[in-house]
């Protein structure tokens, strides 16, 4: 029960933002979208709150934590209590509702089975995987028992805690839950299936606006049943969370490109901003997003270019405001990344990494063709790109492809700049989870590429391929 | 006619791809992995939290870590020895022992899991845990 309350507190924080900021008549969200988006935004704002507590020396106690969601809840409640007719704004518009057909029921059943299977695997398992105990769960344990971030934490050596320079969203999320349930590293694991569920719900609700219900369900079914993605929904790692934030942010951006609705850009910017609290790799995605935005502006008609430039500045300002405290502390405390140390990156080191590129490619092809982690996802993706290569330059596919290529280039550059161990070790231990960061974007591209063919040949309702 | 055939082929290809996806999904969903996950899950579902942790990190290491936690005074620092570099057991030990703090060099205690070939300078025997391991203490601390 306490665990559910802790999840609700995240949703209250996120929903308060959405309900207080968004006017329903301007942006029509469904209840599943509201719930999933609120959860993600709530997790982000809660991390922000805890970090501000650290900066102002406020303890991470239960009462200090819940004061924000409680105040926000009172604000939202009083808003709707004073004008009860506005409660209708919260209810979904079901006027055009059509009953689910057999295919949709089967796909939904498959998704439910997959989710319950993840819960079944997680429920009896205490925190135990390598990175969880070395990094995320250990930090959460430290924060919870210290009642905050201990002094000198960002200068701790790798012997004390792995990667003190890593962003803290996941440890904060766990610390928050511990404040509700007490220290219980069995129950806290359950947050991962919840994140997995919210990820799928948010992708589905966004895709449903771009395509039809059935096609969106099919796409989400493919994404949700990727073995690697499910594996990461059962362990305390930040990779699934990063994939969720980056994929959903990209979907909101695509939605913004199509409609010009600034609210979607705000959600996109917030999700990109909060992704910087999840993993250092988010810097690559955020950089790629800004570059893609610049390309979008350059391709826009002259009469809207100024307006789009204004939107980009707002977006950049949101990302900066959200991520600034973290980077300010990270830079001022000189928390070091031990994987990429630029002072050690000599031309010899770089040349050695370049010579090892075949090793990287070999491990990459093992990921692509090995079904154990990815089923045939990457084979489908690359085959789809070859088959529908002309479409890659059209519409949203164009922007998503640039985003994917730039981000992948960023990761590749990161591998080339690795100075900690030999490239084989680094790639071998990271490539499968790094590819997880990209699989949501890849699925979106595949969905856009195959949309017409699936509609044409499969007696399959894919929707009108337009914003609703 | 050609269009119809192409459409039939496309349909067959898409159906085959989706069928392959479903078959592989079901296979990897229920397949028991190399560590025998079903036996492990049965055990984990039927035991309490302490037993779960003991099962995951192994009887020997669990017993030793409980011994260390009870033997080393709160607020102390320690070094770990006898673990493989990057081993999951090493990071599990560090997680399990917090709030005792793992540091690099000049620690109050030295936790030796298994045997250590060389005798570290400046430390002396503090406590033994059967043949599993021992705890050394910095010499100046006991003065």
For the residues of A99-122, what is the DSSP string, one character each?
---HHHHHHHHHHHHHHHHHHHHH
- Among the listed ranges A92-96, A100-104, A117-121, A189-193, which one has the minimum average pLDDT value? A92-96
Chain B residue numbers touching A224 (CB-CB < 8 A): none
- Among the listed ranges A162-176, A311-325, A418-432, B18-32, which one has the minimum average pLDDT value? A418-432
Quote the Cα angle for B100-A173-A1, to 5°.
100
- Domain residues for the domain of B13 are 2-31
pLDDT value at A100 more than 60: yes
Rounded to an integer, what distance in angstroms lies between the CA atom of residue A323 and that of residue A277? 7
Between chains, do A142 and B29 touch, taking CB under 8 Å as contact? no
> Is B79 a domain residue?
yes
- Predicted confidence at residue B114, as pLDDT, reads 84
Between chains, do A130 and B88 touch, taking CB under 8 Å as contact? yes
> Is B103 a domain residue?
yes
3 state SS of B112:
strand
Between chains, do B101 and A160 touch, taking CB under 8 Å as contact? yes
Nearest CA in chain A to B50: A126
Rounded to an integer, what distance in angstroms lies between the CA atom of residue A113 and that of residue B37? 18
Residues B27 and B65 in one domain: no
Chain A residue numbers touching B44 (CB-CB < 8 A): 124-125
Q: Which helix (H) or strand (E) holds B6?
A: helix B2-30
Q: What's the average model confidence in pLDDT over A446-464?
A: 73
Q: What's the average model confidence in pLDDT over A430-441?
A: 94
> Is B51 a domain residue?
no
Tell me if chain B has a CB within 8 Å of the CB of A387: no
- Predicted confidence at residue A463, as pLDDT, reads 59
Q: Please report, rounded to a whole number, the percentage of residues in chain A having pLDDT higher than 90.
A: 60
> Is B87 a domain residue?
yes
Nearest CA in chain A to B47: A124
> Is B43 a domain residue?
no
- Predicted confidence at residue A329, as pLDDT, reads 87
Tell me if chain B has a CB within 8 Å of the CB of A227: yes
Rounded to an integer, what distance in angstroms lies between the CA atom of residue A178 and that of residue A182? 5
Tell me if chain B has a CB within 8 Å of the CB of A103: no
Structure tokens at A320: 């900066």
> Is B46 a domain residue?
no
3 state SS of A208:
helix
Q: Residue A78 to residues A12, A71, A84: CA-CA distances in angstroms? A: 14, 11, 10
Torsion angle (degrees, nearest 10) of CA A157, A163, A168, A170: -120
Structure tokens at B132: 């599993």
Strands B133-138 and B123-129: antiparallel
Tell me if chain B has a CB within 8 Å of the CB of A119: no
3 state SS of A191:
helix
Interface confidence, given as ipTM, is 0.88
Between chains, do B24 and A371 touch, taking CB under 8 Å as contact? yes
Between chains, do B10 and A124 touch, taking CB under 8 Å as contact? no
Rounded to an integer, what distance in angstroms lies between the CA atom of residue A297 and that of residue A292? 9
3 state SS of A99:
coil
If you average pLDDT over every residue of chain A, what do you get?
Answer: 89
Tell me if chain B has a CB within 8 Å of the CB of A130: yes
Q: Residue A299 to residues A435, A466, B8: CA-CA distances in angstroms? A: 30, 20, 38
DSSP state of A201: H
Rounded to an integer, what distance in angstroms lies between the CA atom of residue B66 and that of residue A35? 42
Rounded to an integer, what distance in angstroms lies between the CA atom of residue A106 and that of residue B25? 15
Q: Quote the minimal CA–CA distance from B106 to chain A in Å.
A: 13
Strands B133-138 and B109-113: antiparallel
pLDDT value at A459 more than 70: no
- Predicted confidence at residue A106, as pLDDT, reads 94
pLDDT tens track of chain B, all 143 residues? 555 566 668 888 888 999 999 999 999 888 877 667 788 899 999 999 999 999 999 999 999 999 999 999 998 999 998 888 878 999 999 999 999 999 988 889 999 988 776 778 888 888 888 878 889 888 875 54
- Choosing among A107, A227, A377, which should be mutated to test the B contact, i.e. which has the most B CBs within 10 A? A227
For chain A, the first-to-last Cα distance in angstroms comes to: 37
- Predicted confidence at residue A468, as pLDDT, reads 45
- Predicted confidence at residue A163, as pLDDT, reads 86
Pick A316 or B128 by higher pLDDT: A316
CB atoms within 10 A of CB A136: 26
Give the nearest partner residue to B10 out of A127, A134, A453, using CB atoms: A453
- Among the listed ranges A212-216, A264-268, B11-15, which one has the minimum average pLDDT value? B11-15
Tell me if chain B has a CB within 8 Å of the CB of A335: no
Residues B71 and B113 in one domain: yes
pLDDT value at A111 more than 90: yes
Instruction: List for chain A the helix, strand, coil content (%; round to 5).
Output: 75, 0, 25
Chain B residue numbers touching A155 (CB-CB < 8 A): none
pLDDT value at A300 more than 90: no
- Predicted confidence at residue A157, as pLDDT, reads 83
Sort A464 into a burial class: Cβ within 10 Å, 0-12 / 13-18 / 19+.
exposed
Give the nearest partner residue to B103 out of A117, A160, A186, using CB atoms: A160
pLDDT value at A208 more than 60: yes
Q: Where are the domains of chain A?
A: 2-87+104-457
Q: What pLDDT band is residue A417 in, cutting at 50, 70 and 90?
A: confident
- Choosing among B92, B108, B111, which should be mutated to test the A contact, i.e. which has the most A CBs within 10 A? B92
Q: Residue A109 to residues A106, A115, A116, A220, A221: CA-CA distances in angstroms? A: 5, 10, 10, 12, 10
Contacts 24+ apart (CB under 8 A), B123-132: B126/B71, B127/B67, B127/B71, B129/B63, B129/B64, B129/B67, B129/B68, B132/B60, B132/B61, B132/B63, B132/B64
Torsion angle (degrees, nearest 10) of CA B80, B81, B83, B87: 40
Structure tokens at B3: 């269009």
Rounded to an integer, what distance in angstroms lies between the CA atom of residue A177 and that of residue A160? 23
pLDDT value at A88 more than 80: no
pLDDT value at A466 more than 70: no
Rounded to an integer, what distance in angstroms lies between the CA atom of residue A120 and that of residue A234? 9
Structure tokens at A237: 């790692």
Give the nearest partner residue to B56 out of A121, A128, A142, using CB atoms: A128
Pick A21 or A229 by higher pLDDT: A229
């Amino acid at each position: 029960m306490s665990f559910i309350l802790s999840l609700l507190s995240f949703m209250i924080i996120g929903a308060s933002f959405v309900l207080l900021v968004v006017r329903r008549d301007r942006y029509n969200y469904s209840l599943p979208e509201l719930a999933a988006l609120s959860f993600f935004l709530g997790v982000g704002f809660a991390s922000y709150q805890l970090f501000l507590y650290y900066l102002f020396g406020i303890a991470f106690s239960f009462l200090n934590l819940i004061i924000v969601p409680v105040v926000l809840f009172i604000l939202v409640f009083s808003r709707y209590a004073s004008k009860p007719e506005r409660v209708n704004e919260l209810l979904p518009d079901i006027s055009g509702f059509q009953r689910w057909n057999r295919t949709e029921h089967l796909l939904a059943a498959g998704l439910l089975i997959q989710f319950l299977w993840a819960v079944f695997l997680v429920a009896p398992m205490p925190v135990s995987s390598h990175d969880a105990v070395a990094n995320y769960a250990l930090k959460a344990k430290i924060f919870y028992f210290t009642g905050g971030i201990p002094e000198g934490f960002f200068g701790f050596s790798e012997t004390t805690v792995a990667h003190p320079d890593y962003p803290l969203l996941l440890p904060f999320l766990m610390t928050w839950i511990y404040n509700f349930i007490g220290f219980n590293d069995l129950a806290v694991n359950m947050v991962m299936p919840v994140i997995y569920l919210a990820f799928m719900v948010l992708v589905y609700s966004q895709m449903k606006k771009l395509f039809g219900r059935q096609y969106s369900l099919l796409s989400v079914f493919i994404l949700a049943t990727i073995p690697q993605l499910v594996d990461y929904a059962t362990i305390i790692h930040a990779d699934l969370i990063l994939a969720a934030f980056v994929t959903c942010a990209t979907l909101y951006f695509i939605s913004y490109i199509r409609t010009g609705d600034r609210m979607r850009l705000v959600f996109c910017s917030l999700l990109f901003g909060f992704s910087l609290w999840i993993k250092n790799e988010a810097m690559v995605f955020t950089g790629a997003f800004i570059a893609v935005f610049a390309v979008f502006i350059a391709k826009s008609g002259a009469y809207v270019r100024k307006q789009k430039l204004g939107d980009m500045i707002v977006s950049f300002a949101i990302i900066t405001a959200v991520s600034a405290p973290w980077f300010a502390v990270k830079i001022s405390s000189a928390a070091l990344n031990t994987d990429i140390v630029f002072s050690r990156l000599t031309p010899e080191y770089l040349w050695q990494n370049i010579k090892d590129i075949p090793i990287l490619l070999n491990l990459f092809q093992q990921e692509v063709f090995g079904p154990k982690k990815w089923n045939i996802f990457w084979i489908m993706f690359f085959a789809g790109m070859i088959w529908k290569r002309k479409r890659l330059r059209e519409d949203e596919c164009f922007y998503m492809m640039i985003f994917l290529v730039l981000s992948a280039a960023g990761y590749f550059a990161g591998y080339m700049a690795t100075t900690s161990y030999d490239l084989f070790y680094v790639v071998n231990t990271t490539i499968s989870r790094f590819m997880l960061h990209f699989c949501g974007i890849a699925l979106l591209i595949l969905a856009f590429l195959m949309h017409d063919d699936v509609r044409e040949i499969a007696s399959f309702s894919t929707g009108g391929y337009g914003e609703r | 006619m050609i269009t119809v055939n192409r459409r039939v082929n496309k349909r067959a290809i898409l159906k085959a791809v989706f069928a392959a996806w479903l078959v592989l999904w079901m296979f990897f969903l229920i397949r028991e992995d190399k560590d025998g996950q079903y036996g492990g899950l049965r055990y984990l579902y039927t035991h309490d939290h302490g037993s779960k942790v003991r099962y995951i990190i192994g009887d020997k290491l669990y017993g030793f870590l409980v011994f260390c936690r009870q033997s080393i005074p709160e607020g102390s620092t320690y070094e770990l020895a006898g673990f493989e570099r990057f081993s999951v057991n090493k990071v599990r030990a560090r997680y399990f022992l917090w709030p005792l703090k793992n540091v690099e060099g000049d620690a109050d205690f030295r936790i030796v899991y298994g045997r250590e070939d060389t005798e570290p300078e400046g430390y002396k025997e503090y406590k033994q845990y059967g043949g599993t391991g021992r705890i050394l203490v910095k010499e100046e601390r006991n003065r």
